[in-house]
Structure 1
Amino acid sequence: MSDTTAAETANTGPLIYRQSIWTRTTHWIWAICLFFLLLSGLQIFNAHPALYIGQQSGFEFENAILEIGAFNTPDGPRGRTTIFGQQFDTTGVLGMSGSAERPSFVGFPAAVTIPSFRDLGTGRVIHFFFAWLFVGTMFVWFLASFINGHIKRDILVRPVDLKGVPRDVAEHATLKFKHGRSYGPLQRIAYFGVFFILFPLIVLTGLTMSPGMNAAWPWLLDLFGGRQTARTIHFGVMLLLVTFFVVHIIMVLAAGPINALRSMITGWYRASPGTPSSEGDRP
């Protein structure tokens, strides 16, 4: 290696092989699955845009915690969203969207649903297809990550990670990112929460809403307090996953999108200066 190349490597940090083929492949399959699951899920939600807590729902019950719809006013129809009894005018976004000449009275607008028109049957077919693809990919990821040590090395939260949270928060707040061989404390906590809490929750609550699974695994109804409560939890977990995705994209852009994309496409990641170029070089 020439002196110039050595100096450049010292200033930029070494290229390290950070993401295995299993991590990269499942990452992109999940991204596709979650996109279709979200938009087809909103299509299904529009069939009855309300969420409840409890075993049952209906006109004689007052257990709704979220309702999206439209109502008439002296000035014409308006969109309205009710959350825990508090009403909000959401005309143009929720409950009523589209142009004034051709309004659409649905929970979520057509622009964020698959299909864009009202078709519950097609929405359910798309949702279930990608749901099972999601579950299969999750099984492959857990198996491969357990065998190659990815879970232990990068995902499980250790006591030292909890101690490092304040420092990691300060570094993220000032956009001083450290690119190492493994994930930082905030990354570990976030990914642990996604892989071991949110993913299992969204799968199990999805199964709880299935009459077939209710017959095979009736304990799911007891675990989540009924099908309606499971539906509400399912919706809430979806919102948390969307929040995670937004924050994830912001962090990728702030920390260096080219480096992150290279890592998730080729596996190779440019680490910070001073990072050992191999496991054996660690002090």
Structure 2
Amino acid sequence: HSALVRVCHWVNALCFLILLMSGLQIFNAHSSLSWGAATDFEHPFLSFSAKENDNGDVTAGETTLFGHTFDTTGLFGASRGSDGEMEERGFPSWATLPAEQDLAMGRRWHFFFAWLLVINGLVYVANLVAARHFRDLWPSVADLRAIPRAVRDHALLRFPKGKEALHYNVLQKLAYLSVVVAFPILVLAGLTMSPAMDSAFPWLLALFHGRQSARTVHFVLAACLVAFVVVHLVMVLVSGVFNNMRSMITGRYRIEEDAR
């Protein structure tokens, strides 16, 4: 990877971490998701809530998904605060930025690093176009036919060697291409939640069928990116953490020769 790509990678990593934690802080202000122009308080398809005893003390956390309720005490709905007492929170304090309930500060963190991520993303895409690297992410027909073999090889922890290691395999291409496609949708959905942006660009509301729908799209795509990052980190660990980290810091990557 070039120096520019490596810098963009680490800026993305920092921005994503802060955006995730500040986004969970914002989500905690209204811990439910629905579809349409207005909030469906009676029938959200996802909600985090807390149960209280007769004294008004929080005793448990619950997650409701498509009408099915699960006890998620300590993780979703209710968790212990800094004072050790159980409190109603969509996501626990260790997962949010800032840790305490502070919507205004969470929004400041989120908006600043969101624009930093957008600028960094534009630089990355401009580099893809200028260096004609888009073809490196676009799977060929032969790549698509090789998906079953690629899945089997990854499941068996067999990774490319020799010349094959110099190029993305089909699973990497599909994963990175999905991120490139999802990124602008995620940004547009985030902008749609702003009344000021809706006033300036009313087509945003029509595009997402309402502000609550945009909020849901934003949350779901963010969750998909979290899943991508988790898989990405697992692959880094099992395929050679030192070699992978060195390559993304210095640009040097040691290629193992294929014995076949």
TM-score (structure 1 length as normaliser): 0.85
Letter aligned with residue 257 of structure 1: V
CA distance in 2, matches of 1:158, 1:189: 11
Residue 151 of structure 1 is matched in structure 2 by: 134
Give the conservation status (yes or no) of the 8 Å contact 1:157–1:192: no
Structure 2: which 5+ runs fail to align? none
CA distance in 2, matches of 1:94, 1:158: 42
Residues 1:232 and 2:216 aligned together: yes
CA distance in 2, matches of 1:181, 1:225: 43
Of 52, 73, 93, 1:72 maps to: 52
Give the conservation status (yes or no) of the 8 Å contact 2:26–2:106: yes
Q: Deviations over 1:70-122 (max 9, x none)?
A: 12357973211111111111111111111796112111110100000011111
Alignment of 1:3-22 (within 5 A): 19-22=1-4
Q: How many residues align?
A: 253
Structure 1: which 5+ runs fail to align? 1-18, 276-283
Give the conservation status (yes or no) of the 8 Å contact 1:57–1:63: no
Residue 243 of structure 2 is matched in structure 1 by: 259
Percent identity over paired residues: 46
Give the conservation status (yes or no) of the 8 Å contact 1:54–1:63: no
Find runs of 4+ consecutive structure 1 residues off by over 4 angstroms: 73-76
Q: Relative to 1, partners in 2 of residues 1:230 and 1:76: Cα closer, same or farther, differing over 3 Å?
A: closer
Residues 1:184 and 2:169 aligned together: yes
Q: Deviations over 1:149-198 (max 9, x none)?
A: 2222x2122212101111111111111100421100100011001112x2
**Which gives a bigger RCO, structure 1 or 2 (Cα 8 Å, sep 6+)?**
1
Residue 24 of structure 1 is matched in structure 2 by: 6
CA distance in 2, matches of 1:201, 1:73: 42
Q: Deviations over 1:201-239 (max 9, x none)?
A: 211110111112112221111111110011011110111
Give the conservation status (yes or no) of the 8 Å contact 2:59–2:86: no
RMSD: 1.8
CA distance in 2, matches of 1:274, 1:172: 17
Residues 1:163 and 2:148 aligned together: no
Residues 1:244 and 2:228 aligned together: yes
Residue 223 of structure 1 is matched in structure 2 by: 207
Larger deviation, residues 216-225 vs 241-250: 216-225
Larger deviation, residues 239-248 vs 158-167: 158-167
Residue 89 of structure 1 is matched in structure 2 by: 71
Partner SS, residue 248 of structure 2: helix
Q: Relative to 1, partners in 2 of residues 1:263 and 1:85: Cα closer, same or farther, differing over 3 Å?
A: same
CA distance in 2, matches of 1:209, 1:45: 12
TM-score (structure 2 length as normaliser): 0.92
Letter aligned with residue 121 of structure 1: A
CA distance in 2, matches of 1:65, 1:252: 35
CA distance in 1, matches of 2:58, 2:190: 38
Q: Relative to 1, partners in 2 of residues 1:178 and 1:239: Cα closer, same or farther, differing over 3 Å?
A: same
Q: Deviations over 1:39-73 (max 9, x none)?
A: 000000011111111111154xx441111111235
Give the conservation status (yes or no) of the 8 Å contact 2:58–2:87: no
Letter aligned with residue 157 of structure 1: P
Residues 1:114 and 2:94 aligned together: no
Give the conservation status (yes or no) of the 8 Å contact 2:15–2:114: yes
